[in-house]
Chain A
Amino acid sequence: MTLSVGPVSDSLAAWFAGRGIPALPSEILAIAVVCALPVLGIVFPIAGVAQYFERKIAGGVQRRKGPMVGANGIVDLVCDLLLFWQPRWKRRAFARSLERAPVLGPVLGLVRRWGLGAIAADGVKMFLKEDMAPEGADKLLFFGSTYVALLGSFLAFAVFPFSQSFHMGDPPVAALYLGAVTGLVAVSILKAGWSSNNKWSHFGGIRAVAMIVSYETPITLSIATVCMWSGTMSLQGIVAAQFRPGILSFTGWNLFQSPFLALVAGVYYVAALAECNRAPFDLSEGESELVGGFHTEYSGLRWGLFFIAEYSDMILVGGIFATLFLGGYQSPFLEDRIVALPPLAEALVHTAIVCAKFLASIGFMMWIRWTLPRFRIDQVMNLAWTKLVPLALLCLFGTALTQLWLSGRVPVAPVVHGRYLSAPVVRPDLLSWAISWIVVGGLLAALVVWAKKEGSPKPAQVRKLLGEEGA
């Protein structure tokens, strides 16, 4: 019996076996590499440097440069270590001369121009800070909550498809598993808030639990809508159902299939922002109100791990959004050519594409953070229960009706995408697609326009502030 998760792990196991490692260990090693590589090699590093990108995007939105740290300190440190027997001035002269070196020079110039040293500076700072717990804190819960937070996001990556063969597993209930496992974040935040022996952190923890539990419902409803449309709960199956041969592969993406799906994508994105505790839903860490909320008492690397957990949550949520609505790892054009590539090349291209998709999603989330103010907890709950849940239910119902209507008009057949066969799905033909978009989309647009007109008009003074005419 051979252990395998796909042709990539097979070829990797063969390569290990060719180097003299016995069969079973080489298979296990290959599986470990293939499974762990996406998380450790992609998600973790991105989450680590995301702090820098967040601050740079903040600077961009606010018309300033953002963090600008050159690499002089690190270069000096490395030279001090390598050339420890030289006098100080020689070490420094050598360090400065590296800026004129052929390869290293331009790199250091880039680091200075973009301030990339901030990444190293953040990392070193986090490592060097004192690791302490406040007096009276419940040590087990206090130290354990960081790990549970990381678990909450990394466990979900177990089912996340990075490509046809880069995934840890493809259970038939992946979507259900996702909804179950992302709830761990709520537990970890509650633990962190409670165990800090600090009323403000406690508030942060309670708010987070209320919010995350409330927003589980719209998320689950949106995932259910997509699962219903794609006929399966397996994420690879959902990706496969969005495959279209031809140049314009993006026409198969769920986002464009029906206006109900587009709406439910919006519901999912907003609810996912809340799940990640990102602005405008960052009231559990609300800096202006609760100092640091649940992570007030954490310092150094533990705090850093909370943030890595938050950023990897964002990556996860962006990735799931891409998987459910944007075709997953499929390319928007010429997907059928890419799927026909040899396994390793196909894996690399697909992983790059899905990375691009979730990086775009993260960038959008960061952009939102620096633009919008924060909700209040009752407004957050209001939004979830009185607006998002009914909307998601409406879309679920509407999608079901659309499927029913389409199944009478178009053939219901499974789609073959590389190694995967999707469940039987409806694929709207051009006429049905146009009808559904015009009718439903038009109704919704009319509703929005009517709501805007019915709402309170801006008073003259506010128009004056905005510089509008007629004030």
Chain B
Amino acid sequence: MNLERDGDYITLSMGPHHPATHGVLRLEVTTDGEVITACKPDIGYLHRSIEKIAENLEWYQFVPYTDRVDYVCAMNSNHAWVCAVEALLATGAETKLEIPERAQYIRVLFAELNRISSHMIGLGAMTMDMGAFTPFIHAIGQRELVNDIFEKTCGARLTYNYMCVGGVVRDLHPGAEDEARAFLDGLEKVMREFHALITTNNIFVGRLAGVAPVSAADALSYGLSGPNLRGSGIDFDLRRDKPYGIYDRFRFDVPVGKRFAGDRGALGDGYDRFVCRSLEVQESIRICRQVLDQMPPASGKEDDPVGGWCVSKAAQKALRKPPVGEIYFRCENPRGETGYHLVSDGTKVPYRAKIRTGSFCALSIFEKICPGLMIADLVALIGSFDIVLPEVDR
């Protein structure tokens, strides 16, 4: 296609108020009719200087801010921060925090439940952006059930502030495990209906198949991670390959993209990412069930090594004098890799906390792959990368 004409180009500003940009994202789109010739993301509308705030708060005080880094999967964001700080403490000579077993299991359970509910939004919002409203409603209904469980345990439905350095803030509420099991059973049924409705629908596949496929080399080079990377055919999952917490105790498969749309698709197109994300939900259900089977019972004592939920006193003591140095710690968030580059100068306040998020890197590829797409494809692309703006802007 010849894109070298003069004039006749329309410059559109898609956003920051737009139903399909999943937040306050502005895309400066130059189009030739419906076909895009250039697309430049313009971000910063949700920049809250979280990294600067981190330099003014103590290590354990920063946890609520990590909720807001990605509020769709706040538990995973919490998990990433507390694991990063604990890993930093572990590099020091004196401080060895022994997180209680039960706290570790609760962390994984809630992280995976939040992964499920985050994918509900990711998958549901993607289908809604393409005009199918009903699967979104099914998915959101399931997310509400997860939020109910979280609300009963920690009191919040969106930004939980539940994990802390040393464990979790309080134990599970009574009956949480049964509720989780009941939820997982119901979720499987609803997801089957969700997929029957949309996944093999000709129109849906036609919208996503072969649209802006991302090659494996590009995916690596542009820092894609999580389902975005696996959708391009690269078999890499931080939970399996660089396990943190107790992820090495669980069996789960890692779905990898394989040109699921058949002849009209391509490896690394939106449909591959969609199917990878959907399969991840099933794997998360599997992990949750294993966690529920293996979790030690509550002992009632906070810092009991097996059945307790937090070694808060030891953690507070350790955090007053963390080791001097730095660490880069990576966690598998639903949207990709969340990495914390922490620099500590030995005081109770971080010297530098850099947050590297999956959506930020996913947005960096837009300038390259958008030319040649149509506007409707751009909307589908944003949805298939599952970009949320709080992660991008921090």
Note whether A and B contact each other (Cβ less than 8 A). Answer: yes
- A457–B192 Cα distance when bound, in Å, is 19
CB pair A377 B376 closer than 8 Å: yes
CB pair B130 A373 closer than 8 Å: yes
- A455–B20 Cα distance when bound, in Å, is 32
Interface assignment of A456: CB less than 8 Å from any CB of chain B: yes
Chain B residues touching A, range: 35 or more
Interface assignment of A259: CB less than 8 Å from any CB of chain B: no
Question: Which B residues lie within 8 Å of A199 (CB)?
Answer: 10, 12
CB pair A374 B279 closer than 8 Å: no
CB pair B19 A288 closer than 8 Å: yes
CB pair A289 B192 closer than 8 Å: no
Question: What sequence of 0s and 1s flags, for each residue 241-280 of chain B, a beta carbon within 8 Å of any chain A beta carbon?
Answer: 0000000000000010010111110000000000100110
Which of B34, B199, B204 lies in contact with A465, CB distance below 8 A? B199
- A343–B133 Cα distance when bound, in Å, is 46
CB pair A288 B207 closer than 8 Å: no
Of A64, A372, A379, which is in contact with the most chain B CB atoms at under 10 Å from its CB? A372
- Supposing A280-B203, A379-B206, A465-B275 touch, asked if A288 and B379 sit within 8 A by C-beta, the answer is yes
CB pair B260 A374 closer than 8 Å: no
Interface assignment of B317: CB less than 8 Å from any CB of chain A: no
Interface assignment of A370: CB less than 8 Å from any CB of chain B: yes
- A301–B375 Cα distance when bound, in Å, is 30
CB-CB nearest in chain A for B33: A206
Interface assignment of A321: CB less than 8 Å from any CB of chain B: no
Which of A279, A373, A457, A466 lies in contact with B204, CB distance below 8 A? A373
CB pair A462 B134 closer than 8 Å: no
CB under 8 Å from chain A, chain B span 357-386: 374-377, 379
CB-CB nearest in chain B for A281: B131
Question: Which A residues lie within 8 Å of B172 (CB)?
Answer: none
CB under 8 Å from chain B, chain A span 282-315: 282-283, 286-289, 291
Which of A207, A282, A467 lies in contact with B131, CB distance below 8 A? A282
CB-CB nearest in chain B for A372: B203
- Supposing A62-B133, A282-B131 touch, asked if A374 and B203 sit within 8 A by C-beta, the answer is yes
CB pair A291 B131 closer than 8 Å: no
Interface assignment of B239: CB less than 8 Å from any CB of chain A: no
Interface assignment of A58: CB less than 8 Å from any CB of chain B: yes
- Supposing A287-B19, A288-B19, A291-B19 touch, asked if A373 and B255 sit within 8 A by C-beta, the answer is no
- A258–B106 Cα distance when bound, in Å, is 65
- A291–B19 Cα distance when bound, in Å, is 6
Interface assignment of B240: CB less than 8 Å from any CB of chain A: no
Question: Which A residues lie within 8 Å of B199 (CB)?
Answer: 462, 465-466
- A466–B260 Cα distance when bound, in Å, is 14
Interface assignment of B196: CB less than 8 Å from any CB of chain A: yes
**Number of cross-chain contacts by CB at 8 Å:** 120
Chain A residues touching B, range: 35 or more
- Supposing A289-B379, A373-B130, A379-B206 touch, asked if A464 and B196 sit within 8 A by C-beta, the answer is no
CB pair B130 A374 closer than 8 Å: yes
CB under 8 Å from chain A, chain B span 160-219: 188, 191-192, 195-201, 203-204, 206-207
- A456–B198 Cα distance when bound, in Å, is 17
CB pair A376 B377 closer than 8 Å: yes
CB pair A466 B200 closer than 8 Å: yes
CB pair A373 B200 closer than 8 Å: no
CB under 8 Å from chain B, chain A span 346-404: 370-379
Question: Which A residues lie within 8 Å of B377 (CB)?
Answer: 376
Question: Which A residues lie within 8 Å of B258 (CB)?
Answer: 459, 461
Of A279, A462, A464, which is in contact with the most chain B CB atoms at under 10 Å from its CB? A462
- Supposing A199-B10, A461-B260 touch, asked if A288 and B128 sit within 8 A by C-beta, the answer is yes
CB pair A376 B207 closer than 8 Å: yes
CB pair A373 B260 closer than 8 Å: no
Question: Which A residues lie within 8 Å of B198 (CB)?
Answer: 373
CB pair B12 A289 closer than 8 Å: no
- A373–B188 Cα distance when bound, in Å, is 23
Interface assignment of B129: CB less than 8 Å from any CB of chain A: yes
Interface assignment of A203: CB less than 8 Å from any CB of chain B: yes
Closest CB in chain B relative to A388 CB, distance in Å: 15
12 contacts between A and B (CB under 8 A): A199-B12, A203-B34, A287-B19, A373-B131, A375-B207, A377-B374, A379-B203, A379-B206, A379-B207, A459-B262, A462-B200, A465-B278
Q: Which residues of B contact A (CB under 8 A)?
A: 10, 12, 17-20, 34, 127-134, 137-138, 141, 188, 191-192, 195-201, 203-204, 206-207, 255, 258, 260-264, 275, 278-279, 282, 374-377, 379
Can you name 10 extra interface pairs (CB under 8 A) apart from A376-B206, A377-B34?
A62-B133, A280-B203, A291-B18, A291-B19, A373-B198, A373-B201, A373-B207, A374-B376, A456-B263, A462-B260
Closest 4 CB pairs of A and B: A374-B131, A456-B262, A373-B132, A62-B137
